[in-house]
Amino acid sequence: MAERLSNREGIKGMANPTRYGIERVAYWLQRLTGLGLLAYLIGHIYETSTIVNGKIAWDKMLEFTQTPQGHIFLTLVIGMCVFHTVNGVRVMLGHGGIGVGKPGQPEYPYKAASLNYKQRLCIWVSIALAALAMMYGASVLFGD
Amino acid sequence: MRESIIMKIHYGTALGAVALVAVHILMRMSQKFSDSLQYQNVIANYHFLPYALMLEVLLILLSVHGFNGLRVILLELKQGSTYEKMINYGSLAAMAILIAYGSRTILMAGMGVS
């Protein structure tokens, strides 16, 4: 019992992004981008609510958000949104049994069939698409 | 409600939101981005009923998806009967508050109350 407890890492073991390869990194990015997008949604709903206070309040809010810092923040939101969407579709398909391989007899070194090259490729594609979308978003925002 | 049904709702709201967010962004890209944010243009968006209805649906989809996602993350971190009840009802309340606040903006701006 004492040995089991001493080996128990708890949340630190679960949170370690370096241990289980790109799949664990994708797991964390999906959650972090989700939380970031939820925070943005709340902020965006608050920000747009200033429209009901008239033109002066709206223009004041635009002065605050339409700045280089605001554009950088929006570029990050675009990246988070694209990664969360594409990786989310991968997770959704995986839950439906698509792209996770066939079940088989477990053999040493017990590599999970679900963590195959298709899944890894999808994660890298998600990251690449997010980067491309950020570049395009930045060109639109800063090109204005 | 069974978790399997909740996850189907989670995925359904995600797919719906992706489509509507694309329309929402395209509306901003239909003209120069900074021009699309001018007061008159934004008010005109709210006065256009189909677009206002789409914003309302988008608000509901994103709130349900966002707060259910937060609920899932919080339930992964800790379990327990009281904790789970607190998280479930807390997420529902937060969802309802955000939808109510966003709907207030859509209604007031759409009806020209300012």
pLDDT tens, B58-97?
999 999 999 999 999 999 888 899 999 999 999 999 999 9
- CA dist B104 → A33, A46, A85, B53, B94 (Å): 27, 11, 28, 13, 15
Q: Side chain identity at B68, as an amino acid letter?
A: N
pLDDT tens profile A116-126: 888 999 999 99
B32 touches B49 (CB < 8 A): no
pLDDT score of A6: 60
Distance (Å, whole) CA A121 – CA B68:
28
Single out the residue of A124, A79, A82, A119 nearest to residue A98, CA to CA. A119
pLDDT score of A127: 97
pLDDT tens profile A82-120: 999 999 999 999 988 888 888 778 888 887 777 788 899
**CB-based contact A49 B7, cutoff 8 Å:** no
- Decide if the complex's ipTM is over 0.85: yes
pLDDT score of A81: 97
Handedness of CA A4, A7, A10, A16 (dihedral sign): negative
Distance (Å, whole) CA A36 – CA A39:
5
Distance (Å, whole) CA A131 – CA A144:
20
pLDDT tens profile A18-52: 777 888 899 999 999 999 999 999 999 999 999 99
Reported pTM: 0.91
- Please, what is the Cα angle at A109 between A108 and A114, to 5 degrees? 105
pLDDT tens profile A55-84: 999 999 999 888 999 999 999 999 999 999
pLDDT at A1 over 60: no
pLDDT score of A3: 59
Q: Side chain identity at A61, as an amino acid letter?
A: M
Single out the residue of B81, B60, B83, B59 nearest to residue B71, CA to CA. B83
pLDDT score of A144: 63
Alpha helices in B30-110 (DSSP H): 33-36, 39-47, 49-77, 81-110
Ordered structural domains, chain A, with CATH: 22-143 (1.20.1300.10)
pLDDT score of A116: 84
Ordered structural domains, chain B, with CATH: 3-110 (1.20.1300)
pLDDT tens profile B16-55: 999 999 999 998 888 888 889 999 999 999 999 999 999 9
- More confident of the two residues A103 and B11: B11
pLDDT score of A130: 98
pLDDT score of A48: 95
Single out the residue of A46, A144, A49 nearest to residue B42, CA to CA. A49
If pLDDT is split at 50, 70 and 90, which confidence band does B104 have?
Answer: very high
Radius of gyration of chain A from its Cα atoms, rounded to whole angstroms: 21
Q: Which residue has the tokens 């009806």?
A: B111
pLDDT at A17 over 60: yes
Distance from CA of B15 to the nearest CA of A (A): 9
- CA dist B39 → A55, A58, A92, B32, B42 (Å): 6, 7, 39, 14, 5
pLDDT at A9 over 70: yes
A114 touches A94 (CB < 8 A): yes
pLDDT score of B7: 95
- The answer to whether A140 contacts chain B (CB < 8 Å) is yes
pLDDT score of A82: 98
Distance (Å, whole) CA A35 – CA A81:
11
Interface of B with A (CB under 8 A): 7, 11, 14, 18, 21, 29, 32-34, 37, 39, 42-43, 46, 59, 62-63, 66-67, 69-70, 73, 77, 98, 101-102, 104-105, 108-109, 113-114
